[in-house]
Amino acid sequence: MKPMTRLLCLPLGGVLFLAGCATMAPHYERPGAPVPSAWPSGPAYKEGAGKPAEKPVADIPWQDFFVDPQLRKVIALALENNRDLRVAALNIERSRALYQIQRSDLFPKVDANADGTFQRIAENFSGTGLPENIHQYNVGLGVSSYELDLFGRVRSLKDQALEQYFATQEARRSVQISLVAEAAGNWLALAADRERLQLAKDTLASQQASYQLVKSRYESGVSSALDLHQAQTSVDTARVDIARYTTFVAQDENALNLVVGSTVPAELLPASLTETLTALKDVKPGLPSDVLLRRPDILQAENLLKGANANIGAARAAFFPRITLVSSVGFGSDDLGNLFASGSFVWQFLPHISVPIFDAGANRANLQVAEADRNIAVAQYEKAIQTAFREVADALAQRGTIDDQLAAQKSLTDATGESYRLSQARYEKGVDSYLNVLDSQRSLYGAQQNLIGVRLSRLANLVTLYKVLGGGSE
């Protein structure tokens, strides 16, 4: 092999070995989790909340947690049509393309080129005393501005782009988990408001019957005008609630349609909350170390931290020389017909070395910025863990008390129902006034509405717990 040919092989082949050098980025170590190693304990929490779970919630697909067929179909529609999830998926594609762009800088870019030059030289410049026409033709392959990554600057930038790509993947998982939880929460809220509306309608029918009874007793002189007007207030109160809950049901449907991204078919809408009490499975939290570090938002924060760490390597490499290569090989001739003839082979090799000497502190400032960004990313990562711990702890606190609250509310509803029945019987026998009946009816109606609310809270707590424990990503 000729000496010059060996030189040309360097930028086209051997540089790949040189570009494989390690970066100058600091060694990455995952920061310790700034939260306790166990979930909180106390009267608000169930015993055994900190024991290892048989299966981590992050490994439980949403299809196994949401067992109601209608709800499953609604969630599937949301995953197919929701625009936020589409944006998250497109961000992954965009980030992947940016990573590929950055990664391509590790390799020489070879371009094919062909050009021609046509020039007329004046007789004073030709050397022959006559005007001269010059034709030149060139064709070849060339490498333009390829940086030998001896100090890992380009590789550090590639690593940063890769971590950004991983972060967008975790961001999409986080959006999907939130979407599954939001779709389920809106569906359950619609079920609760539909049941409240039906309760208001049933109460109106009951109060209208009571009003007719009081009216007939008033016309017979048995009941007073006060009793009649009190009965009228019960009827009007039920009418007000019917109008109010009719509005709530319509708004719930609008909210559900927005989350799903299309109009939800009527057959997938819930009739009442009572019919959906077994729509969800129960979950166990497990240990914080098993839960928090698997949440996609925390993994996203860690990927951004790794990317910031890689940027320090690029900033450090800026203090060292940069070697850029430009080379080309091909054929040249002043006659197009002899372009590939013997002796027309040409080459060019232009190495360029840039050594930073004075930059008014720009490189040092860039390094300080990169280190500050890394420290900010550490704080954000730790804050993400603390926020996640608080979300799980809050959900566990409600979970530990919601069953007791539900049992107490159900007992209260049963007691007020019996009180209403007795007061109604005493009024009909003339023992009590209608005011006692009205108070008992109001208490029963309020207890029934609260029971629906507590049941909704229990189901919503299960959804929230499933979400904050990192489930729903499949």
Is the CB of residue 77 less than 8 Å from the CB of residue 187? no
Q: Order of strands across the sheet with 110-121? A: 110-121, 132-148, 322-333, 345-354
d(CA 54, CA 34): 25
Q: How confident is the model at residue 347, as a pLDDT?
A: 83
User: Nearest to residue 255, comparing CAs of 266, 264, 246, 267?
Assistant: 264
d(CA 77, CA 262): 8
Is the CB of residue 165 less than 8 Å from the CB of residue 97? no
Q: How confident is the model at residue 364, as a pLDDT?
A: 92
User: Parallel, antiparallel, or unpaired for β 322-333 and 132-148?
Assistant: antiparallel
User: Nearest to residue 145, comparing CAs of 15, 9, 5, 323?
Assistant: 323
Q: Which two three-digit tokens encode residue 421?
A: 């029945």
Is the CB of residue 294 less than 8 Å from the CB of residue 388? no
What lies within 8 Å, CB to CB, of 24 at 6+ separation is 151, 152, 156, 312, 313, 316, 317
Is the CB of residue 465 less than 8 Å from the CB of residue 190? no
What lies within 8 Å, CB to CB, of 30 at 6+ separation is 302
List beta partners, residue 121. Answer: 132
**Residue 115, Ramachandran bin (φ over 0: left; ψ between -120 and 50: alpha; else beta):** beta
Q: What's the full length of the chain, in residues?
A: 474
Q: How confident is the model at residue 284, as a pLDDT?
A: 79
The DSSP H or E segment spanning 348 is strand 345-354
d(CA 122, CA 131): 5
What lies within 8 Å, CB to CB, of 235 at 6+ separation is 204, 207, 208, 211
- SS3 call for 111: strand
User: Nearest to residue 397, comparing CAs of 276, 259, 253, 285?
Assistant: 285
The pLDDT tens digits of the residues spanning 8-53 come to 343 444 444 444 457 889 999 999 889 888 888 888 887 765 565 5
Distances (CA, A) of 369 to 23, 26, 246, 308: 18, 15, 56, 10
User: Parallel, antiparallel, or unpaired for β 110-121 and 132-148?
Assistant: antiparallel
Distances (CA, A) of 200 to 219, 234, 411, 412, 468: 28, 11, 21, 19, 35
Single pTM value for the model: 0.82
d(CA 414, CA 420): 10
d(CA 284, CA 307): 34
Greatest Cα pair distance in the chain = 138
| pLDDT beneath 70: ranges in the chain | 1-21, 48-54, 125-129, 222-223, 289-290, 472-474
